[in-house]
Chain A
């Protein structure tokens, strides 16, 4: 087995920590993330490490629990993106010609629209929930996956082993399943990690705009927004969840980009 690059190692270490936070949130978090209290906008203290928010909820506990939502939304969105984007990319790349032309036009239209704007439009139609948010972000990132897969398919379909398979009379479906797909997976996985980070980032933006996960769920983007009302007084209310978003996005980006660089 190859040695992991330092970047990959850092990424994976952070991923383990973040995942542990999500998995063990009920054990680590000192308070319920949704229990309000009359200690409103409390300063950071021994009881509330990062202080309390505008409804007296413990900010540290909410950030820990928020890891779950962020990872859920990020991973689910990336899966949706692969499920939608990969088949489109495979078909476009393999059949080329008119099919490719039409699909690429559609993909380009979606890529041309800023992701956040597209997400705003879809969220407005679907309504807000964790599931809808994942689907929305999946749709938004799917075109990138399709583009990437298509390009990879172009390369793979010209290789000798594909040509050999075709010579022996193998059908398109069989070739795609047996040869093309396995050989495009690495790119897909790299993009998967990057899409997780994109989805987490965009979902935080949507929540900041009030279109993310419905309250009272502990959602980082929403926490940044609520905290911004009290930024001069309690900077931690906004900066801490903002830092959590940054760290998580950074982690997945590190992993994704290291996979791309690896040979």
Chain B
């Protein structure tokens, strides 16, 4: 299931595990109680942390994943699957807690100055890159300037330009960033790809080939990479956080499908596979050596239409679809009833979650009536059916529901690898879609719903919503922001920019000896914290 470039790209990275820096300052009991508090905050099962024995050192973790790796250069990376590996080789400037609040990363602390127009980062000292060069303010400046370079094509340039005016080295351990306007969400961008710090010396040494020779400050270094087969990262003995990492190496193995992955896991070739559907877990559940853990939240599933073009520009048609989709049944069939149906795009449990949304409970008679009254009965629609199993099944179920209310829907198969690009290009006008959650509401909301949003492929446009979005993104007061995001989300649900369906349920399968796994709301596992019992 390779997610499309763009879609799924932005899931910011709430980091649910305590950094070692904090571990050092706490004894075990304190740590457990802090962890429990964090878990309660996130509503996650406590079993994950019920581990008494100290982590075993050593061993190799074998991860199975459906690979579409292109580059290991964090400045260029776009593929979602790349991030789980980048997060082992590189560290981020800022880290995240499970409630999406910020915690220190390579930056120990930070201050906003000049009414939020200047961000000062105080860096960790004594940190070195894998190539022996030191991590300092110059390196941070190089990382940001290179991302902003109009001649470079960093995948994060569009996020940062227009926000960052200049980057200044104050001293070896202090960087000051001048902003074009106050923009608090910048810190959560630094907690994702834009905050991954790469070695400037390595970039100079390898030039164009840097994507095959990543050099970071992280707990693991790149070992061997056989494209299309395996990628191995090995322990960084010089890692700056004491006692980390636990594993000697992690090997990422390319698998053609989850079912093959589970089979390889049963015979002990693999230790971990993520992104399993409830159906996939039926296979894994048969084996006593494998435990199946639910992910924290899932991806947001929706039906996306071209909002500004006929017939989708007709609010009555959109309303009919909204009432005609049997979302509970879709949940039953796709996710065994374990998904969460929602009228919005924000899952429960985040600070900007809201229930005050337009409600579209299933009512096929009403849907039929709306179509009839508007003279839309029998309207022909073409719904894309991407070849990836999850989206195609979803399309088939939507097809059945919508034909039942009097629409004439035809399924148009399209290769999974092409459907997102075709949707952006406007060739596909009605399609199942999915996105992962981001650490700041501005991430997804501005991205998808602002008239000039980077990924606004629905062409949704509401001047009032635009005004609110740009008002909310520069506020520092969270309550004031929340009030605006409540209004924005309600308006978007009334306008039916998308037909929201709900949040999927995903699982990870682990062999029993694998420890240290914590479900992440962005669905990206943090392998740096893993260890293997008795390795």
Contacts and interface: CB of A to CB of B under 8 A. Distances in A.
Contact of A40 (B336, B387, B415): B336
Interface string A38-52: 101100000000000
- Majority secondary structure, B binding face: helix
B255 interface: no
B282 A233 contact: yes
A215 interface: yes
Contact of A36 (B396, B411, B412): B396
B396 A41 contact: no
A144 B384 CA distance: 36
Contact of A128 (B257, B263, B393, B413): B413
B263 A229 contact: no
Interface in A20-61: 34-38, 40-41, 54-56
A38 B259 contact: no
Contacts of A230: 259, 279, 282-283
Interface in B258-315: 258-259, 263, 279-280, 282-283, 286
Given A55-B397, A230-B279, A233-B282, A38 B413 contact: no
Interface string A193-218: 00000000000000000110011100
Contacts, number: 65
Contacts of A216: 396, 399-400, 411
Contact of B333 (A56, A210, A228): A56
A229 B393 CA distance: 13
A257 to B, nearest CB: 35
A49 B46 CA distance: 43
Nearest to A53: B393
A232 interface: yes
A38 B412 contact: no
Nearest to A39: B333
A34 B400 contact: yes
A4 interface: no
B333 A215 contact: no
B259 A229 contact: yes
Contacts of A102: none
Contact of A55 (B280, B333, B412): B333
A230 B260 CA distance: 10
A38 B415 CA distance: 27
B28 interface: no
5 contacts: A214-B412, A228-B259, A230-B283, A232-B259, A233-B283
Interface of B: 257-259, 263, 279-280, 282-283, 286, 329, 332-333, 336, 385, 387, 389, 392-393, 395-397, 399-400, 410-413, 415
